Amino acid sequence: MSTNLVNYMLDRLHQGNTTASNNVTNWSGTCYIMPLLGAFLADAYWGRYWTIATFMIVYIFGLVLLTMTASVKGLKPNCQNGVCDPTTAQTAVVFLALYLIALGTGGIKPCVSSFGADQFDETDESEKKRKSSFFNWFYFSINIGALVASSVLVWIQMNVGWSWGFGIPAVVMAIAVASFFLGTRLYRHQKPGGSPYTRIAQVIVASFRKSSAQVTSDSSLLYEVTDKESAIQGSRKLEHTDEFKFFDKAAVMTPEECTTGPPFDPWRLCTVTQVEELKSIVRILPVWASGIIFSTVYSQMSTMFVLQGNTLDPHMGPHFKIPAASLSIFDTLSVIVWVPLYDRIIVPLARRITGRPRGFTQLTRMGIGLVISIFAMLAAGVLEVVRLRVVARHNLYDYNGFVPISIFWQVPEYFLVGAAEVFTFIGQLEFFYDQAPDAMRSMCSALSLTTVALGNYLSTLLVTIVTAITTKNGKLGWIPDNLNRGHLDYFFWLLAVLSLLNFFVYLWIAKWYSYKATVTDDGEPSG
């Protein structure tokens, strides 16, 4: 939906560049914040299957309403002489539809990848190996859909009409819901383990209540159930680790607790596995934070890249013009090229060199993507410098037409973002699923998605700050409505510098991180 949304804001809602860009990034950010709600319901109460099913219906309602805003006379803006002037009510309905879609996304995004990975048995080595490839091909399939959206769908929106451009996704989504329900009897289901937020709170409260307790050096003396499975439904036991020892206080048994025996107050005594759940989340958080800047770079494809492309020559031959938003097809094509290349060539080659089953560690994979994202911003900045030089050479500052540079010079920046996605985003999917405690996998998948949300919000914040600072004293600023009189290149340089600083911080985080280990049926740790 976000591929061409900025143009809908510009053309139909008659918004300026900054407002349209911020509205799109705010909406995109909400799409990636709402998964925290969906993940909570999935892990705590509904399970992944019913969460996906319920929120799919909400998503369809949003798509249908959005289609109506572009097709029903009373809901779509009245356009005269090419100018659309929507009423407050019409604008409100558009945003209601968009945020219903965001709500629906919240139950689908954190659960689909985890639900797919749940279908693989982690105790079976052959299935465990295939699960690693699953995340690659899952992301590959998403981008096949994005390929259609950024090419055919955008063309329909710009040349046939927005009602068709929104109506087709609504029909396709309805078909997707039907196909999901058809497979119901074949699925493996992970039982919900209760509220992960409650368990985290219990460990924190119990740790502070026992802040004066001494933690024994013998971890076997810490409280844990004697069963093979942990006390948390659907979760394996986790091996004790020596990090964040303050939280171990929650598993220290007082003399009174040793005497009275179970049942214990969960707000005073927690199992080692419950404590290790919290430690796992704490370890993941710095890795999570390092993805925010990357997501800010990624969000430029639906905002600044499109605004830049709107000023370039879109002609393919004498009669066909490619919409600027359709250039995201090259991001999608990049993913489609890089996924099989990574899975079939790079991983086997890296496996021979490193001896690791995955070829690279998940953290190494994500780091490679961060580096590529820096080059994506450099490519966008260089193109903008060239574009502004052409504007100056031909005195096109107030020219409303296209600058005589082919829009296809944007291909490198899109292609680099796509390559970065394959390494960082897919690496994140696998990392957050693999490193999450069993009963918190939806929550951790949602946590990884919030980097995209915060990246969008950070983009909005940066645009707002940059605009406020650079428009002082009556100046036009870096990102005016007329980009020929702006300096969009400076904004790309800013993102490149922030990405470089983020990468250096990430190197320190990756060196510090220690991977999760579970306890096998024979009581031995398995990392």
The CATH 1.20.1250.20 portion of the chain extends over: 5-191+275-513
Cβ partners under 8 Å of residue 174, min gap 6: 60
* Two tokens, residue 399: 């020219």
242: buried, middle or exposed (CB in 10 Å: 19+, 13-18, 0-12)?
exposed
User: What is the pLDDT, as a whole number, of residue 524?
Assistant: 44
Distance CA 201, CA 207 (A): 10
Strands (E), 320-383: 320-321
- What b/e sequence results for 320-337 when a residue is b if at least 16 CB atoms lie within 10 Å of its CB, and e otherwise? ebbbbbbbbbbbbbbbbe
User: What is the pLDDT, as a whole number, of residue 20?
Assistant: 85
Cβ partners under 8 Å of residue 180, min gap 6: 52, 53, 56
User: What is the pLDDT, as a whole number, of residue 422?
Assistant: 92
Distance CA 281, CA 284 (A): 5
pLDDT in single tens digits along all 527 residues of the chain: 666 788 888 888 888 877 887 888 788 878 888 988 988 898 888 888 999 999 999 999 999 999 998 888 888 777 676 666 788 888 899 999 999 999 999 999 888 888 888 888 766 666 666 777 788 888 888 888 878 877 788 888 888 888 999 999 999 999 999 999 998 888 888 777 778 888 999 999 999 999 888 888 888 888 888 776 666 766 778 888 888 999 999 999 888 888 887 788 889 998 888 999 999 999 999 999 999 999 999 989 888 999 999 999 998 887 888 888 888 889 989 999 999 999 889 988 988 888 887 788 889 999 999 999 999 999 999 999 999 999 999 988 888 889 999 999 999 999 999 999 999 998 998 899 888 888 888 888 888 888 888 888 899 899 999 999 999 988 889 988 888 999 999 999 999 999 999 999 999 999 988 877 655 444 444 44
Q: Give the CATH superfamily of 5-191+275-513.
A: MFS general substrate transporter like domains (1.20.1250.20)
Please say whether the beta carbons of 114 and 433 come within 8 A: yes
Distance CA 296, CA 452 (A): 7
User: What is the pLDDT, as a whole number, of residue 110?
Assistant: 84
